[in-house]
Amino acid sequence: MTKPLEVEEMSDKITLIVGATTNPSRYAYFAANRLSKAGIPFVPIGIKSGVVFGEDILDLRSKPKLEKIHTITMYVGTANQEEWIDYLISLKPERIIFNPGTENPIFYRKAKAEGIAVLEACTLVMLSSNQY
């Protein structure tokens, strides 16, 4: 498990929210809200367009070139991840957080083989308890 980072240390470390949405009843939306309030930069990415907390949701299907992604937080269910695994690993994040419902042992193995830390955790809990 990786060492939690202080918010000050996270200010230059970007979080990619995979499965981002403008739907205020979804956990990905709550995560964007909490990251925004904490001053942690994030990039929302998903299959539906929109704006969440001032950030345009990027089209996951276009697999945009992104740099300096520190953390990927997953909000896409296991059954819908296969198409994106290699792309997300290619972003070379330091860690991937698999929120409840996104657990994927195949993805874990591929990420770990590339030196990426894998956490089965809840981004919201991590943020609330200063473990992010």
Q: Is residue 1 part of a domain?
A: no
What pLDDT, on a 0 to 100 scale, did the predictor assign at position 10?
Answer: 58
Q: Is the pLDDT of residue 53 over 70?
A: yes
Please give the mean pLDDT across all residues of the chain.
Answer: 92
Q: Is the pLDDT of residue 8 over 70?
A: no
Beta strands at 95-98 and 51-52: parallel, antiparallel or unpaired: unpaired
Query: For the segment 56-86, what is each residue's pLDDT rounded down to a tens digit?
Result: 999 999 999 999 999 999 999 999 999 999 9
The structure's pTM equals: 0.91
**Cβ-based burial of 92 (10 A; exposed 0-12, middle 13-18, buried ≥19):** middle
Contact 118, 85 (CB under 8 A): no
Contact 130, 3 (CB under 8 A): no
CATH code of the domain containing 101 = 3.40.50.720
Q: Is the pLDDT of residue 3 over 90?
A: no
Q: Is residue 34 part of a domain?
A: yes
Query: For the segment 81-98, what is each residue's pLDDT rounded down to a tens digit?
Result: 999 999 999 999 999 999
The domain tally of the chain equals: 1
Stretch 89-116: mean pLDDT: 98
Stretch 13-36: mean pLDDT: 97
Domain ranges, residue 112 = 7-128
Q: Is residue 123 part of a domain?
A: yes
